Amino acid sequence: MEWGRIASRTSLTSLMILVACAPSNALPPRLQAEFSGFTYAGHDPVFDGPPLGDGEMWNPILTGFYPDPAITQVGSDYYLVNSTFCYFPGIPVWHSTDLVHWTQIGNVIDRPGMLDFEGLGLSRGVFAPTISHHDGRFYVANTCVDCGGNFIVTAEDPAGPWSDPVWIPDVGGIDPSLFWDTDGKLYLMNNDEPEGGSTYPGHRAIWIREIDQQTFQPVSAPAMIINGGARPQDKPIWIEGPHIYRVGNEYLFSAAEGGTAKGHSQVVFKADKVLGPYTPYPGNPILTQRDLPESREDPITSVGHADFVEDASGNWWASFLGVRPYHDDDYNTGRETFLLPVKWKDGWPVILEPGERVPYRLKRPDLPAETAPSLPTAGNFSVTQEFNGDSLPPGWMTVRVPHGKWYGFRNHALTLNARPVSLGDGGQPSFLARRQQHMNAEATTEVSFAAGSPGDEAGLAAFQNDAFFYSLGLSVNDAGEPVVRLHRRAGDETPRNGQVVAESPVLAPAGGPVSLKIAAHGANYDFFQGDGHGGWAPVALAQDGTLLSTHVAGGFVGTVFGVYAQSLDNEPALQ
């Protein structure tokens, strides 16, 4: 697909169609912030060294917060989706023809009314989507956790538009997945409590039932096909992310096991009938990194939640999630999407043998090379977003579903209404963001904003969730003098807008725009403002970045960099 056509389609089905109209003219001018450009740059040493050869590719294929990948093939095209929890638009849809270069062509959840995330913690919402294709139609099965349960949406074109959700109230639990058998029957699998209830923490089961192909409602009683996991005697935890594949005359079942932290893994089973009984592979797990020494350099951990796809040459590949910690289990980039070949061993698929490491550099699939996308997703790269159009790329997001019109474009700038909602309110602030995709990363922007009181602020944020973030904003002090102020929120016990940890007079010429920069170096984050001469002056250095890690902040999301504007009544005292 050509980028021009993709951009045109996504501008109709992304966040722009919802709230990207010009801000209300009724607002005072000082309550509108203008951002002229946004640059993201990432440089991790692991991607240095010799340039990639003609037959090589980088892992991960989608850097940054792109968890729970599911993949499907339609002819020479491959499509992949990820979880987004309570970010909006939700469930990115990716396209590739070579499994190496991926272009986001849209989002499944792209308009108000499809789902409602109001009042939810950021790591609720849409979990673990699966994508499939049958008889000319695409299907995404998913769970909206605490917001409706399991549902299915469909589309003729994976770029959208997608249908409104069809809810399946009789199917509980999470992680629904579809399988079409050769006899034309459609089955739905899901994770839920085992028959008789759980007997230990994390004890779950996989259920299957036939569903109607039009209404998606069950037409058969559910059958429990996996109880606990590959070795029930060991009390395995969190069997989830189920998939079934027809391989010859056998049914191959694959699922994640062990939880999504360091114990994560992938296990497989076989059966002669779709309803089982299923026999586990004696060599399970077929993918994990939990058996490797913790002292290894450049570790990739927590791998699992795999989905298989067969390429045009008959080779099998697995997409799966993993993380790249900078220390122990601290990582700010969230769960990322990786790709590895599948090797067949005595009729069983194996992604990695015990003790093998997930490689950063690997041999690419033997498929015709696709042109690199204009927005790269792998290795080291730099991207500048010029706000000179009337839309944002589909990778930009906000938290929860927006209500009303609070951002737009004017004079080659992105405009945000400064509303009385802070980043920590657990609501829907004026905040637009893109993912942090490297341990070592920079985000820069230039903001114009005429604050009238210390509660008026606009700037740049490193945001993990409502309770853990840094915000670097342009405001005024009590004397009405322009300042750049750094807030930090490190848990629910701190003020919703965060505590002020640093404040500096604005160095840019009076009345002009102010440049802001956040630089991440693993566990340390530095914050800068423009010095008025084309350079940078520190506002605060070596701030604790571990509070932006999933290990500290909890949940399932990763850090994002974004622009915000707010107008609040009270300002926390400098601490």
Q: Quick check: is 212 catalytic?
A: no
Q: Give CA–CA dist 57/319, Å, rounded.
A: 14
Instruction: Provide the token pair at 309.
Output: 């796809």
Answer left, alpha or beta for residue 28, where phi above 0 means left and psi between -120 and 50 means alpha.
beta
Q: Which of 51, 52, 213, 65 is nearest to 132 (CA)?
A: 213
Selection from 447, 395, 444, 402 nearest residue 421 by Cα: 402
Distance of CA 259 to the CA centre of its chain: 18
- The per-type count for the chain, helices as H runs and strands as E runs, is 3, 40
Q: Catalytic site residue 240?
A: yes
* Among 34, 68, 175, 257, the one annotated catalytic: 68
Q: Are 1 and 103 in contact (CB under 8 A)?
A: yes
Per the CB < 8 A criterion, the answer to whether 459 and 564 are in contact is: yes
Question: Per DSSP, what are the bridge partners of residue 138?
Answer: 133, 155
Strand partners, 459: 473, 564
SS3 of 3, please? helix
Measured between alpha carbons, how far is residue 482 from residues 337, 349, 456, 509 in Å? Answer: 42, 62, 11, 11
Q: How far is CA 419 from the centre of its chain?
A: 26
- Whether residue 222 is preceded by a cis peptide bond, meaning omega within 30 degrees of 0, is no
Give the DSSP H or E segment for 187.
Answer: strand 186-192
* CB 362 within 8 Å of CB 342: no
Catalytic residue among 34, 110, 192, 240: 240
Strand, helix or coil for residue 84: coil
Pairwise CA distance, residues 386 & 540, whole Å: 27
Mapped to the 3 state alphabet, what secondary structure does 15-81 carry? CHHHHCCCCCCCCCHHHEEEEEEEEEEECCHHHCCCCCCCCEEECCCECCCCCCCEEEEECCEEEEE
Residue 551 backbone dihedrals phi, psi, to 5 degrees: -60, -35
Cα–Cα–Cα angle for 341, 342, 345, rounded to 5 degrees: 145
What torsion, rounded to 10 degrees, do the Cα atoms 425, 429, 431, 436 define?
30
d(CA 560, CA 548): 10
Q: Which residues are catalytic?
A: 68, 240
